[in-house]
Chain A
Amino acid sequence: MSNEEDYLQEYTLRSWLLTTDHKRVGLLYMASITLFFFVGGAAATVMRLELMTPKGDVLGSPDAYNRLFTMHGVIMIFFFLVPSIPAVLGNFLLPLMIGARDLAFPKLNLLSWYVYMTGGLIGIWILLFGGVDTGWTFYTPFSTMFSNTMVVTAALAVFITGFSSILTGLNFIVTVHTMRAPGMTWFRLPLFVWSHYATSLVMVLGTPVLAITVMLVALERLFHIGIFDPKLGGDPILFQHLFWFYSHPAVYIMVLPGMAVISEIVPCFSRRPIFGYRFIAGSSMAIAIFGFLVWGHHMFVSGQSMYAGMVFSIISFLVAIPSAIKVFNWTTTMYKGAVWLDTPMLYALGFIGLFTIGGLTGLMLASLGVDVHVHDTYFVVAHFHYIMVGGAVMAYLGGIHFWWPKMTGRMYPEIWGKLSALIVFVGFNLTFFPQFILGYLGMPRRYYEYSPEFQVLNVMSTAGASILAVGYVMPLVYLLLSLRQPAYAGPNPWGATGLEWQTDSPPPVHNFHDMPVVTAEPYDYSPEAFQEEHDHAVSHASR
């Protein structure tokens, strides 16, 4: 079929490490991000083992526990959740989806991977030689005056990794503006692209503020300049303002790309055009904008003024509107659709369920009074894990399954895929739902030992974590095994619309044999044709 080589043809290490092909850079990211995911996951597993009993008996010291949960947070946030979907799926798919040969700045794209790896390896180095005990938030004055761990090195790792995120965001925005194929108007862009555009804006506007903040922390630690130290005239609350100005929007860096994936999967597996295309596109932008206005809800008990608290509370409620718009549009798309319960769709349904629970508990936390009660308890831990792990990780896994045939040309075994989706969903809820109750009953977060009456719920949570771990390892195994098959998935195993499905699987080096011209609206699915398409898809899967 093809007289041009596909992008996987070359095998040498050199061809990978010097590639400027956005698809290969995406796969480089996938390999390294998978590594960090399992390192961060291992840390979580040890923490859950420690918390199985009320006494500290696994790690031996509270210090070790502090270092462990800090590294879990730092690795998962900065080296997994923030880059996961944009750097892997976004890099791979964005140019394909808009009909471009590559991103606007391919060398910059490769550079961003090297920058990411530099930061990541420093992170691993910290983990091996000392650790950090501040929590991933690096709160001053503890981080600058009292902690005797590798805070400066951690700040450096976060600073460096931030640049990779800035470069990726910048590259995406320019690509969407300048590289669209003829006929690919803004309102014909796939929603995946819209979400990534919004995410990129947050990356470009927020990350530099984090960079300057961690730089200030490092300087304060090294030279005691006093910018956050009250003894020297500084103010630790300033740190919280600067930190959360990035780190709240960062939540949307993690979850908006997840929504991007769901917006592609749901119409495809419901065989219906997505309901309210413009509302979903607009809500992505609205979330990106509102995300910058709500950082103060992390600081309700920090001593900021009551009026500031009220304003931040109200704006935080407003973010629920664009989020709910998306959930309603996805469910409406499914309504009267012919829903295929294939693996990506199971993950997508899991996403919608978990994201809804996470979002609703977010409303509770946005309420001033409730937040004061559950502040720094496991309720908060459960809430953000529902949003970020239940949201971003479910979507990431769903997306990997959805586009795996496109990336590799191979089909994975459908039965194993479905099983993994089920195990992840069950394991996730068993892990984190008890934590809502624990937090509501008053168990504080970051504690190494706890009162014995919390033990039953903690044991449930630990049991859930072990199930979850199985669910996460399974895809790693069967997806890698699927690479041993020949590439037979065909260009479009799901009968999906979108430009990326109109080229070979795996795609040729320059993406398309002939430059596509877009003449139709996106998500042009017809409910009538679903049955034969599904049969077609199944026949591909079983080949």
Chain B
Amino acid sequence: MPQFDDVHQQAYSSTLGMWLFLVTEVMFFGGLIAAYTVYRARWPEEFAAASRHLLWPVGFVNTIVLLGSSLAMALAVRAAHLGRDRETVRWLVATMVLGTAFLGIKATEYYIDYRENLIPGASFRVPAEGHGEAGAGHGGETAASLDPGHFQMFFVLYFFMTGLHAFHMIVGITLVGIFAYLVRTKWFSGHGGTQVEVIGLYWHFVDVVWVFLYPLLYLIDIRP
């Protein structure tokens, strides 16, 4: 790295660079969250009713899986800083496995939505209440009294936001895999502490996005 004076300057630059990149990501998701906020404030009934058709327990399991992957990533970063290469690789692989599990669960959920015609577009149908039991005795609104366009809007935003998140997961899993290989082959000068930390920042960010998406999309109208 001829442009840097020493490794500290390099570590500082890489970390700051990743933080700034994450700021751009926040703004990227921010545009969608702004759109979501506007439409949800305008059509609360439709959004709440639509949200009841998501499977919140599945989302809950996915949240746990993702938080587990973040823990594995944190342990990988620690191992990399301590110079324990084998342990680093092991935790990175664990991160990948949990991340893949998340995507698998998500894909299953998408498939269920597809079966119920919840994919926006020509085949979209406003479902009858009954996915959950929360519909009854709740202001008495029925599917018939709700605007189908606004109903579909929820699913547009749901698929766009979770889809974009899933895309970030795929990129993340690929990068973590590459880094695991590089640590294993001792490609980094040193033990890759800085590099693993930087990829870890990205992973934690993707995790945090989900932590916002889960309550926004799944838990709008959940009642005990």
Contact = CB atoms under 8 A, between A and B. Distances in A.
A231 B153 CA distance: 11
Interface residues on A, range: 35 or more
Interface stretch (B17-25, B75-83, B205-213): B17-25
A233 B150 contact: yes
A100 B1 CA distance: 13
Given A205-B23, A209-B30, A212-B32, A226 B149 contact: yes
Contacts of B12: 177-178
B27 A205 contact: yes
Nearest to A171: B17
A342 interface: no
B35 A177 contact: no
Interface string B123-150: 0000000000000000000000001111
A512 to B, nearest CB: 12
A44 to B, nearest CB: 31
Given A212-B28, A223-B121, A242-B31, A102 B23 contact: no
B216 to A, nearest CB: 16
B47 to A, nearest CB: 11
A475 to B, nearest CB: 32
A105 B25 CA distance: 19
Contacts of B25: 208
Given A223-B120, A233-B152, A166 B24 contact: yes
Contacts of B3: 100-104, 106, 179
Contacts of B170: none
Interface in B1-51: 2-4, 9, 12-13, 16-17, 20-21, 23-25, 27-32, 34-35, 38-39, 43
B156 interface: yes
A204 B38 contact: no
A524 B131 CA distance: 74
B132 to A, nearest CB: 23
B160 interface: yes
A166 B25 CA distance: 11
B120 A225 contact: yes
B23 A226 contact: no
Contact of A104 (B13, B29, B120, B157): B13
B16 A238 contact: no
A234 interface: yes
Given A170-B21, A170-B24, A179-B3, A208 B152 contact: no
B125 to A, nearest CB: 14
B22 to A, nearest CB: 10
B9 A178 contact: yes
A151 B68 CA distance: 42
A224 B121 contact: yes
B190 to A, nearest CB: 19
A233 B147 contact: yes
Q: Which of B4, B12, B35, B121 has the most CB of A within 10 A?
A: B35
A170 B13 CA distance: 11
Interface string A191-210: 00000000000001111110
Contacts of A226: 120, 149, 152-153, 156
Contact of B27 (A171, A209, A227): A209
A34 B25 CA distance: 31
A7 to B, nearest CB: 14
Interface in A213-238: 213, 216, 219, 223-227, 231-235, 238
A179 B9 CA distance: 8
Q: Is the interface of A mostly helix, strand, loop or mixed?
A: helix
A231 B32 CA distance: 20
A174 interface: yes
A208 B16 contact: no
A211 B28 contact: yes
B16 to A, nearest CB: 5
A242 B35 contact: yes
A92 to B, nearest CB: 15
A238 B2 CA distance: 47
B140 to A, nearest CB: 22
B20 A234 contact: no
A103 B17 CA distance: 12
Nearest to A103: B3
A348 to B, nearest CB: 32
Interface in A128-186: 166, 170-171, 173-175, 177-179
A234 B28 contact: no
A325 B9 CA distance: 36
Interface in A329-348: none
Contacts of A178: 9, 12-13, 16
B42 to A, nearest CB: 8
15 contacts: A101-B2, A170-B17, A179-B9, A206-B27, A208-B25, A208-B27, A208-B30, A209-B30, A212-B29, A212-B32, A232-B152, A233-B39, A238-B35, A242-B34, A245-B31
Given A175-B13, A178-B16, A204-B24, 15 more contacts: A100-B3, A102-B3, A104-B4, A170-B21, A173-B20, A174-B20, A179-B13, A208-B25, A216-B35, A223-B120, A226-B152, A227-B156, A233-B39, A233-B147, A242-B35
Interface of A: 100-106, 166, 170-171, 173-175, 177-179, 204-209, 211-213, 216, 219, 223-227, 231-235, 238, 241-242, 245, 510
Interface of B: 2-4, 9, 12-13, 16-17, 20-21, 23-25, 27-32, 34-35, 38-39, 43, 120-121, 147-153, 156-157, 160
